[in-house]
């Protein structure tokens, strides 16, 4: 998805629409990201004199490893962003994250790649089950914990509880 500035200038003060399926290999070096299954990019480029406003809509499915089971799963992503490409800015300028310098060509692929990487979850699972249990522990919800803590009294503290109860009776 590249356009030269000469191509874009032909459409001054107009909107250029695009809709394309892309193939991106080696999206990131993360080991849990296996591949990009499907990637569709739609959008519009509004051409101004030295600035190009690009509204991008990304619809993709990423093949990842499940965070709990390590099985292959598909993670759908829908991303929308407004990116500004400007001829008057330089790479060493202190820029907003959505403003990009452009010299000879407007290339959307690095921006698309970055948007996908930033929006990927750090951990993702399709499992609805809680973690389960391990040696000498198990996962319980808060209601169970509150109920168990009310019922259980350490037998070594029974005498102290009786003493506390008798003190409360004396105060009444």
One-character DSSP codes across 21-50: E---S---S-TTEEEEEEEEEEEEEEE-SS
Q: Would you say residue 69 lies in a domain? A: yes
Residues 147 and 71 in one domain: no
Residues in Cβ contact with 171 at an 8 Å cutoff, skipping those fewer than 6 apart = none
Residues 137 and 114 in one domain: no
Residues 90 and 159 in one domain: no
**Would you put residue 77 in left (φ > 0), alpha (ψ -120 to 50) or beta?**
beta
Residues 101 and 159 in one domain: no
Element (H, E) at 162: helix 158-171
Residues 147 and 77 in one domain: no
Rg of the chain over all Cα atoms, to the nearest angstrom? 29
- How much is the pLDDT for 41? 93
Residues 96 and 142 in one domain: no
> SS3 for 157?
helix
Residues 105 and 147 in one domain: no
Residue whose tokens read 């394309």: 20
- How much is the pLDDT for 157? 76
Q: pTM above 0.75? A: no
Residues 72 and 141 in one domain: no
Residues 91 and 10 in one domain: yes
- How much is the pLDDT for 165? 78
Q: Would you say residue 124 lies in a domain? A: no
- How much is the pLDDT for 11? 79
Residues 105 and 33 in one domain: yes
User: In which residue ranges of the chain is pLDDT below 50?
Assistant: none
Residues 103 and 156 in one domain: no
Range 136-139 contact pairs with CB under 8 angstroms and sequence separation of 24 or more: none
Parent domain of 97: 2-119
Element (H, E) at 119: helix 109-119
- Domains held by the chain: number: 2
């Amino acid at each position: 998805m590249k356009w030269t500035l000469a191509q874009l200038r032909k459409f001054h003060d107009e909107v250029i629409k695009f809709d394309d399926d892309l193939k991106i290999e080696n999206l990131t070096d993360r080991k849990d990201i296996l591949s990009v299954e499907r990637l569709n990019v739609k959008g519009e480029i509004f051409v101004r004199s030295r600035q190009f406003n690009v509204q991008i809509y990304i619809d993709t499915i990423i093949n990842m490893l499940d965070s709990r089971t390590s099985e292959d799963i598909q993670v759908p992503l829908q991303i929308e962003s407004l990116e500004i490409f400007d001829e008057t800015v330089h790479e060493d300028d202190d820029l907003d994250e959505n403003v990009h310098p452009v010299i000879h060509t407007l290339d959307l692929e690095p921006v698309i790649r970055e948007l996908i990487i930033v929006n990927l979850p750090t951990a993702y699972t399709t499992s609805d089950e809680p973690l389960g249990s391990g040696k000498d522990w198990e996962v319980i919800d808060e209601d169970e914990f509150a109920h168990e803590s009310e019922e259980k009294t350490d037998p070594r503290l029974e005498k102290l509880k009786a003493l506390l109860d008798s003190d409360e009776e004396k105060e009444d």
